[in-house]
């Protein structure tokens, strides 16, 4: 990343990068992750943000299991974010 970029730019780039990590192979994941980005991203604490990044590294099927509550991530912070995503999904 450009070292000259302002911190505001960096924040925008960071958001855009995560936004692209939310593009997945399944509609269900796209929908849940997009709802979460729209509703919750701005309020995430640094720890939650880190947990969100870790969660996004999971393969799609496992991520779906986490988000639908069929499996629970071992890391409690990651599990907490997965639950938040589930609650943020929908209308």
55's CB contacts (< 8 A; 6+ apart) are 63, 66, 73, 78, 81, 82, 85
For residue 72, state whether it binds another protein (rule: CB under 8 A).
no
CA 60 to CA 67: how far, in whole Å? Answer: 10
- Show the binding pattern over residues 18-57: x = contacts another protein (CB under 8 A), - = does not: -xx--xxxxxxxxxx-x-----------------------
Closer CB to another protein, 2 or 43, in the complex: 2
For residue 1, state whether it binds another protein (rule: CB under 8 A).
yes
Between the two ends of the chain, the Cα-to-Cα distance in Å is: 36
What residues line the site for another protein (CB under 8 A)?
1-2, 5, 9, 12-13, 16-17, 19-20, 23-32, 34, 59-61, 68, 86, 89-91
């Amino acid at each position: 990343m450009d070292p000259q970029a302002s911190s505001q730019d960096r924040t925008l780039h960071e958001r855009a990068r995560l936004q692209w990590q939310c593009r997945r192979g399944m509609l269900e994941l796209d929908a849940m992750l997009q709802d979460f980005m729209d509703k919750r991203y701005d309020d995430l604490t640094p720890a939650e943000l880190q947990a969100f990044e870790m969660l996004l590294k999971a393969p799609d099927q496992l991520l779906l299991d986490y988000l639908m509550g069929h499996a629970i991530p071992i890391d409690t912070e990651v599990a907490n974010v997965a639950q938040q995503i589930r609650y943020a999904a929908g209308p």
